[in-house]
Amino acid sequence: MNKKQTLDILKKIQEGTISPESALLKLCTEPFEDLGYAKPDHHRELRQGIPEIIYGAGKTAEQITGISSAMLDKGRQLILITRLSQETAATIEKSIPLKYHATARIGIIGEIPKPDGTGKIVVATGGTSDIPVAEEAALTAEALGNSVIRLYDVGVAGLHRLLSRLDDIMDAQVIIAIAGMEGALASVIGGLVDCPVIGVPTSVGYGASFNGLSALLTMLNSCASGVCVVNIDNGFGAGYLASMINHQRR
C-alpha cells in the first residue's frame, strides 16, 4: 500500500462510503503477508516512500515468483529484483512477464515509470570493468523514477575524459561515482561539483586492491566534502540513496 492508496481510504471515510471500522481493518491487515518462506512488506512504500525490493540471490525461482505474485495481488505496478541469475530469471518468466538485464543482474516486472525527480542522476565509472555495478545503480534509479545519465570509462587514468563531460556533472542533482583499483574517482568528482556524491567501491583490481577494500578506504578517506560511501559493489544501495536525494521536496 502506498500513500495514494491510504489517502483514498481516508477520503472514503470522509465521504461516508466506508466506515472507520472497515478502513481500520483494511489498514491493519495490509502491513505484511506471511508466505511461510517470506513476509512481503506491503506497507514499506507508505513508511519510506519506496516499496520493498526483492533481493534475488539465495532465493529459488519459486520463492521469487511467490513473493512477486503477492506484491502484484496488492496492486504493485513495478517490482525490482536485484542480484538475479539468468537461469532463475528464465524460470520466473514462465509464470510472470519479466524483463531481465543481464549486465546488472536485475529483473523488472512492470514498466519503468516516467522520471519525477527534481533533477538528473549521473552514474560515472572509472573503467569499463565497473559497468555491471554501474548498471545495477542506474537501473535501480530509473525504476524508482529518475532520469539517469551514464558516463562510463571516465577514470583518473585519463582525466580529460571526465573533464569533457563537465556540463553533465555540474548539472547533476546527485552523482554516483563507481570505481575499483584505488577508487580515486569519487574524490575527483567531489572536488568539482556542488551536489552530493555517492562513492561505490568495486572489487575490480589487482591483488593489493583486496577485492575492493583499497577503493573503499580511499573513498572513506576522501578529502572532498560531500562524498558518502556505500558498500563494495553495492550499486543497488547507491541507486536507492540517489533516488531518495533526488526526490527530496521542500
Question: CA 5: distance to chain centroid?
Answer: 23
Whether residue 214 is contained in a domain is answered as: yes
Here the CATH number for the domain that contains residue 146 is 3.40.50.1970
Instruction: Give the mean pLDDT of 28-39.
Output: 66
128 and 78 within one domain: no
Instruction: Give the mean pLDDT of 147-160.
Output: 94
Looking at 41, 74, 109, which one is the last position of a domain? 109
- Indicate whether 223 pLDDT > 60: yes
105 and 124 within one domain: no
**Cα(63)–Cα(58) distance, rounded to whole angstroms?**
10
75 and 149 within one domain: no
Whether residue 37 is contained in a domain is answered as: yes
- Indicate whether 215 pLDDT > 90: yes
Question: CA 37: distance to chain centroid?
Answer: 24
178 and 140 within one domain: yes
Q: What's the structural domain count of the chain?
A: 2
Q: What is the structure's pLDDT at 77?
A: 86
Higher pLDDT, 33 or 95: 95
The backbone torsions φ and ψ at residue 197, rounded to the nearest 5 degrees and listed phi first, read -120, 125
- H/E stretch holding 118 reads none
239 and 140 within one domain: yes
Query: pTM score, two decimals?
Result: 0.84
164 and 58 within one domain: no
225 and 144 within one domain: yes
137 and 92 within one domain: no
Whether residue 18 is contained in a domain is answered as: no
Whether residue 16 is contained in a domain is answered as: no
* Nearest partner of 220 among 232, 209, 208, judged by Cα: 232
Whether residue 79 is contained in a domain is answered as: yes
Question: According to the per-residue pLDDT averaged within each range, which of 8-12, 19-23, 233-237 is highest?
Answer: 233-237
Q: What is the structure's pLDDT at 11?
A: 77
151 and 200 within one domain: yes
Q: Residue 130: is it exposed, middle or buried by C-beta count within 10 angstroms (0-12/13-18/19+)?
A: buried
Looking at 84, 109, 134, which one is the last position of a domain? 109
134 and 75 within one domain: no
Looking at 109, 128, 149, which one is the last position of a domain? 109
Q: What is the structure's pLDDT at 184?
A: 94
Band the pLDDT of 19: cuts 50, 70, 90: confident
Domain assignment of residue 83, given as a range: 30-109
Whether residue 71 is contained in a domain is answered as: yes
Whether residue 19 is contained in a domain is answered as: no
240 and 147 within one domain: yes
Whether residue 166 is contained in a domain is answered as: yes
Q: Residue 229 has which C-alpha cell?
A: 560511501
Q: Residue 225 has which C-alpha cell?
A: 566534502
148 and 85 within one domain: no
